[in-house]
């Protein structure tokens, strides 16, 4: 790696850290902006009557100290991923989140891959049958999925595939009460994963399908494609080797934007399918008015997005070396 590349990655790291710092400060002021005593806000409704606990919180966050000191304590704690305790669950917030992290990473990661694969495939098919029936079917389907609320789609999918057809489980991540191991366990989780991952990814499947279609049609009119056809190349090879490769560029740029959407959408999908991830944790925190936990989940999910953006930036750098390093 050249010095330039390292500087670029270093710059991105600094940028990510600044974003997290700003979110930490934002969280701090949010607690103070909320109506009522900050200690009570942090404790949530259940803990607000326990004076000993409130005092404990005041000590921990330095709430009796001047504001700038409070800010310092809060931000420096957060930067070390110390987010205090969740009163309701009697556990450190960070541990609660980390316990749920693998489930969310599995769900969002699968949804991400599924949406790219399905979306690009649908876009390629629509472009190949431009102005024919398959093109219309895919375009209309993409329009509809683009407009439907994610949580509703998830509910309808579970109604159809779990309740009516009884093909797929609609609840949780593993079958309850069965001590499965090895392959059986993996297939069990995979079966539970299909509905949540597909519905979570469906919005972006629609976005990718539409983008790929437009960009395939545009690229196929360019001169180098005509040349390839004129020299007698097989049409299928022209599509895969010439058109698709170039048409994918705008799709790749969009992939970075998807991280935040997926993490946000996970709150809804995990709520509908009782998927034990951080989205579900956020819903539980909401339900129990456990604001410290809520803000913790918010901070960590932002950190996930920053991390994901960093990874995609580095991947672009490898895939497309033309990217401006100075930027």
Partner 1 sequence: MNIFKSLKRNKVAMVGFGILFLLVIIAIFGPYLYDGSPWKMVQRPFLPPFQDSKFPLGTDTLGRDVLAGLIHGARISLLVGLISTAIALLIGIPLGAYAGYYGGWVDEVLMRFTEIFQTVPSFALAVVLVAIFEPTVYSITGAIAIVSWPPVARLVRGEFLSLRSQEYVLAAKLNGQTNRNIILKEILPNSLSPIIVLASLMVASAILLESSLSFLGLGDPEIMSWGYMIGAAKTVLRQAWWLSFIPGVAIAVTVLSLNLLGEGLNEALNPKLSGNREN
In this complex, which beta carbon is closest to partner 1, that of residue 70 or of residue 292?
Answer: 292
Q: What sign results for the dihedral spanned by CA atoms 147, 209, 314, 110?
A: positive
Instruction: Report how far apart, in Å, the C-alpha atoms of 30 and of each of 23, 34, 70, 298 are.
Output: 10, 6, 13, 12
The secondary structure element, H or E, covering residue 281 is: helix 278-287
Please, which of residues 181-240 interact with partner 1 by CB under 8 A? 207, 211, 214, 218
Beta-ladder partners of 91: 86
Among 86, 271, 292, 312, binds partner 1 (CB under 8 A): 271
Q: How far is the CB of 304 from partner 1 (least distance, A)?
A: 8
Please, which of residues 272-291 interact with partner 1 by CB under 8 A? 272, 282-283, 286-287, 289, 291
Total residues contacting partner 1 by CB under 8 A comes to 55
Q: Provide φ and ψ at 176, rounded to 5°.
A: -80, 140
Draw the binding track, 114-143, toward partner 1 (x: CB under 8 A; -: no contact): -----------------------------x
Beta strand 85-86 with 91-92 is antiparallel
Among 124, 150, 157, 293, binds partner 1 (CB under 8 A): 150
Q: Provide φ and ψ at 86, rounded to 5°.
A: -95, 120
In this complex, which beta carbon is closest to partner 1, that of residue 156 or of residue 186?
Answer: 156
Among 102, 106, 108, smallest CA distance to 199 is for 108
46 binds partner 1 (CB under 8 A): no
Among 85, 281, 298, 312, binds partner 1 (CB under 8 A): 298
31 binds partner 1 (CB under 8 A): yes
169 binds partner 1 (CB under 8 A): no
Among 52, 147, 176, 230, binds partner 1 (CB under 8 A): 147
Backbone dihedral region for residue 274 (phi beyond 0: left; psi -120 to 50: alpha; all else: beta): left
For residue 89, give the DSSP letter: T
Among 17, 46, 144, 180, binds partner 1 (CB under 8 A): 144
Q: Provide φ and ψ at 171, rounded to 5°.
A: -140, 130
Identify the three-state secondary structure at position 86: strand
The helices-and-strands tally (H runs, E runs) of the chain is 13, 2
- Contact predicate 281/107, CB 8 Å: no
Strands (E) in 148-287, as ranges, are none
For residue 149, give the DSSP letter: -
Q: How far is the CB of 233 from partner 1 (least distance, A)?
A: 27
257 binds partner 1 (CB under 8 A): yes
Among 220, 242, 297, 312, binds partner 1 (CB under 8 A): 297
Q: Which residues bind to partner 1, rule: CB under 8 A?
A: 18-19, 22-23, 30-31, 33-35, 41, 143-144, 146-152, 155-156, 158-159, 163, 207, 211, 214, 218, 254, 257, 259-261, 263-265, 267-268, 271-272, 282-283, 286-287, 289, 291, 294-295, 297-298, 301-302, 305-306, 309
């Amino acid at each position: 790696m050249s010095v330039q590349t390292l500087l670029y990655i270093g710059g991105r790291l600094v940028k990510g850290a600044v974003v997290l710092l700003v979110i930490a400060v934002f969280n701090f002021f949010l607690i103070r902006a909320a109506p009522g005593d900050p200690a009570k806000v942090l404790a949530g409704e259940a803990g607000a009557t326990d004076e000993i606990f409130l005092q404990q919180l005041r000590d921990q966050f330095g709430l009796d100290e001047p504001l700038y000191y409070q800010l310092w304590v809060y931000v420096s704690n957060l930067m070390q991923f110390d987010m205090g305790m969740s009163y309701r669950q009697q556990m450190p917030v960070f541990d609660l989140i980390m316990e749920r992290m693998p489930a969310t990473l599995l769900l969002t990661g699968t949804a991400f891959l599924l949406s790219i694969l399905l979306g690009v495939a649908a876009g390629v098919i629509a472009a190949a049958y431009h102005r024919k029936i398959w093109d219309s079917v895919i375009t209309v389907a993409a329009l509809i999925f683009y407009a439907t609320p994610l949580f509703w789609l998830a509910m309808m999918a579970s109604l159809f595939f779990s309740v009516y057809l009884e093909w797929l489980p609609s609840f949780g991540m593993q079958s309850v009460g069965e001590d499965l191991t090895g392959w059986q366990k993996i297939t069990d989780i995979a079966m539970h994963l299909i509905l949540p991952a597909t519905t979570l990814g469906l919005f972006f499947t629609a976005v990718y399908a539409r983008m790929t279609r437009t960009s395939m049609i545009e690229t196929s009119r360019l001169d180098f494609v005509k040349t390839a056809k004129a020299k007698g190349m097989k049409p299928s090879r022209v599509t895969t080797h010439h058109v698709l490769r170039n048409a994918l560029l705008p799709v790749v740029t969009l992939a970075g934007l998807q991280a935040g959407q997926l993490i946000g959408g996970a709150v809804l999908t995990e709520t509908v399918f009782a998927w034990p991830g951080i989205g579900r944790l956020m819903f539980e925190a909401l339900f129990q008015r456990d604001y410290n936990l809520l803000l913790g989940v918010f901070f960590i999910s932002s950190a996930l997005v920053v991390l994901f953006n960093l990874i995609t930036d580095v991947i672009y750098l490898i895939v497309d070396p033309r990217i401006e390093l100075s930027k």
